[in-house]
Structure 1
Amino acid sequence: MNIVFMGTPEFAASHLKALVESGVKVIGVFSQPDRPKGRGRRVYPTPVKSVAEVYGLPVFQPEKVNSGEGLEKLKELSPDLIVVVAYGKLLKSSVIDLPTLGCFNVHASLLPKYRGAAPIQRAIENGETRTGITIFKIDEGMDTGEIALRREIEIEISDNFGSLYEKLERLGREALLDFLKIAEAGRIELCKQEGAPSYAPKVQASDLVISDFSDAVYVLNKVRAYDPQPGARTSLDGKMVKLFGAAFSDRSYGKSRDGEIVKVEDHGMVLSCGTGNVIISLVQLPGKRPMSPKDAVSGWLIREGMILGG
């Protein structure tokens, strides 16, 4: 099969690398245009572009792919199948109807749950215990197409965004290679998405803020969902601090207020969170690197009795 790959971030780049190293015939790679990043606004290639260049694959970065030069290039390539992984653009019928076998997307959730841009973070944030990879045939909706293949895994209480990302990235690569074997054999079987859909909108700055410490489960999941990047945050003594490494504590520390640092121990600081206590193993204050709460206490940056979120 002649395959065109579409993707942009690291998650997609690892899938492209897996395809090439498995001998899949990738005839072209489409990625978002390179954008300026960071304080210096330096322009960096997208991770997918970087992988494509390592393997000598032709790369195209049109502003528009559903019309104009982007669409014309796709027509020239005449792919049998288009594989999409976190491309960042919705495809229209002009592209969807182009390949003989169709366009298929690798999505990091069990569709129809968590359609959208941030399925990994939202699943953790909402306390899900299962997630997975869905490969579906793209239609003009947002992650609404018929399912071709699905793989499921457990979300462990110890998982954060970083660890679950790695698990789903690995599962996605395996699932994609399995799917392409099925496609090459002409055995694609599609089924409709079943159940009520839910959505995973792009993460906004306001999503990262914890202002309510009355529910231990809520606080735990919020920290896990944005650990290690970009970090859940809350106010402390008039400053915004980031919290990492959350876990439940089953110890009792007596009467305390929601969000209070009731104890600082070797393994972290214990927060009173209404329905229980949550241990935070790393804290990052403005202008500082993440540090243990004990080091923060030694540096007179935090102390027991302080209130977070107030």
Structure 2
Amino acid sequence: MKIVFMGTPEFAAAHLKEIVESGNKVAGVFSQPDRPKGRGQKVEPTPVKTVATNYGIPVFQPEKINSDEGFEKLSELSPDIIVVVAFGKLLKSGVINLPTIGCFNVHASLLPKYRGAAPIQRAIENGETKTGITIFKIDEGMDTGAIALKRELEIHPSDSFGSLYLKLAELGKKTLVHFLERVKEGRLELAPQDGIPSFAPKIQPEDLVISDLSDAAKVVNKIRAYDPQPGARVSVEGRISKVFGASLKCRNEGKGIVGEIVKIDDRGMIVSCGAENVIISLVQFPGKKPMRPKDALSGRLISEGIILGG
């Protein structure tokens, strides 16, 4: 079975490494072009390209995959199956219909819930208690194809984007290996997506801002959803700052107006958020590294009684 893999970030790189280590031969890898990164804007290879290079797999990085040189290179490989994991480009009918078995995507949600670019963040932000991995056959819709495999995973109240990302990467790569084994054994079965769809659009800058601190659970979920990257934002006396490490705290320890820092101690800063309080363990002011609120208090960057937001 001739496999072509398409992917770009670390999440995809983990899957590529797993399927190669499991004995699957990958004929070629397609990844997005290398881009400048960081303050120095140094051009770095994509994580998927790095893994492919380490295993001696041919790598292609065309600007376009559905036409021109990209499609030509893909056609020359004559894949039996194309595996897509966080590739970052939509496939059109020419590519979708090219492999004899089909194109299959590894998606980090329980489809049809959270179709789109940011399923992990949106699930946490919305307070979901479970998510999972879905492998589906790609069609021309947005994550609408028939399902080949689905595996559930609990979202723990302490999970942030960072921890859930790692759990889903681990589940995803194991599910993908199992899927490829079933395909090779001729046991591929597909079922249409069942249920009411929901969507997980790409994260926009305004999504990161905590503008309403009146609902403690929503505040905690937003902070968890963007921790450790890119970080939820809140105004601290006019300074747009990032906050990390949020958890709920019962209301009987300090009560203030909505958004008020009622206490700062070794646990973090306790913020009044409606019926309950929220503990925030780290804060990052513009131009500075994340720090404990207690250290920020010592440095006179914050104080009890400050109102967040606004």
TM-score (norm 1): 0.98
Residue in structure 2 matched with residue 66 of structure 1 by the alignment:
66
1:111-122 paired onto structure 2 within 5 Å: 111-122=111-122
Counting only pairs closer than 5 Å after superposition, residues 213-232 of structure 1 correspond to structure 2 as: 213-232=213-232
| 1:162 pairs with 2:158 | no
Equivalent residue runs for 1:261-276 within 5 Å: 261-276=261-276
CA RMSD in angstroms comes to 0.9
How much has 1:20 moved relative to structure 2? 1.1
Q: Deviation string for 1:80-103 (max 9, x for gaps)?
A: 110000001111111111111100
- 3-state SS of the aligned residue for 2:17? helix
Question: Could you give the per-residue CA deviations for residues 119-141 of structure 1, whole angstroms, max 9, x where no partner exists?
Answer: 00000000000100000000011
* Contact 2:228–2:244 (Cα < 8 Å) also in 1: yes
Identity of aligned residues (%): 72
For the residues of structure 1 that align with 2:40 and 2:291, how far apart are their CA atoms? 26
1:11 and 1:284 map into 2 onto residues whose CA distance is 26
Pairwise mapping of residues 292-303 of structure 1 onto structure 2 (< 5 A)? 292-303=292-303
Question: Aligned equivalents of 1:68 and 1:218: distance in 2?
Answer: 46
SS at match of 1:183: helix
Cα distance between partner residues in 1 of 2:181 and 2:38: 40
User: Cα distance, 1:114 vs. partner?
Assistant: 0.5
The question of 1:28 aligning with 2:32 is answered no
Opposite residue 272 of structure 2, the aligned amino acid is S
Indicate whether 1:209 and 2:209 are aligned. yes
Residue correspondence of structure 1 range 147-296 to structure 2 within 5 A: 147-296=147-296
What is the Cα deviation at residue 38 of structure 1? 2.4
Gapped regions of structure 2 (runs ≥ 5): none
- Following the alignment from structure 2 to structure 1, what is the Cα–Cα distance between the partners of residues 198 and 90? 18
Matches within 5 A, 1:40-59: 40-59=40-59
**Structure 2 counterpart of 1:267, one-letter code:** R
Deviation per CA, 1:16-74, whole angstroms, max 9, x where unpaired?
A: 01111111010000001111222322211111111111111100011111111111111
**Aligned counterpart, 1:86:** 86
The one-letter code of the counterpart of 1:138 is I
The DSSP-based 3-state class of the residue aligned with 2:48 is helix
CA offset at residue 286 of structure 1? 1.3
Q: Note the C-alpha offset of 1:241.
A: 1.0
Cα deviation, residue 305, structure 1: 0.2
Gaps of 5+ in 1: none
Q: Output the CA distance in 1 between the equivalents of 2:253 and 2:184.
A: 61
Q: What CA distance in whole angstroms lies between the structure 2 residues aligned with 1:200 and 1:3?
A: 28
Matched residue of 1:73: which SS? helix
Residues in 1 aligned to 2:293 and 2:94: alpha-carbon distance in whole angstroms? 55
Once the two structures are overlaid, the 10-residue window that deviates more, 64-73 or 179-188, is: 64-73
Counterpart-to-counterpart distance in 2, 1:90 and 1:292: 42
Give matches, 1:95-110, under 5 Å.
95-110=95-110
How much has 1:251 moved relative to structure 2?
Answer: 4.7
SS at match of 1:52: helix
Q: Distance in 1 between matches of 2:164 and 2:133?
A: 12
Asked if the contact 2:255–2:272 (Cα under 8 Å) also holds between the matched residues in 1, the reply is no
- TM superposition shift of 1:211: 1.2
- The whole-number CA distance in structure 2 between the counterparts of 1:265 and 1:306 is 15
Q: Which stretch of structure 1 is more off in the superposition, 76-85 or 37-46?
A: 37-46
Between 1:117-126 and 1:72-81, the stretch displaced more is 72-81
Structure 1 letter corresponding to 2:137: K
What secondary structure is seen at the aligned counterpart in 1 of 2:179? helix
Query: Relative to 1, partners in 2 of residues 1:254 and 1:39: Cα closer, same or farther, differing over 3 Å?
Result: closer
Q: Structure 1: how far apart are the matches of 2:64 and 2:23?
A: 29
Which one-letter code corresponds to 2:30 in the other structure? F
Q: Distance in 1 between matches of 2:193 and 2:206?
A: 31
* CA displacement 1:258-298 (0-9 Å, x = unmatched): 11000011111100001210100111111111111111101
In structure 1, give the amino acid aligned to 2:182.
Answer: I
Superposed CA deviations along residues 1-21 of structure 1, whole A, max 9, x for unmatched, are 110000001100110011111
Q: What's the counterpart of residue 143 of structure 1?
A: 143
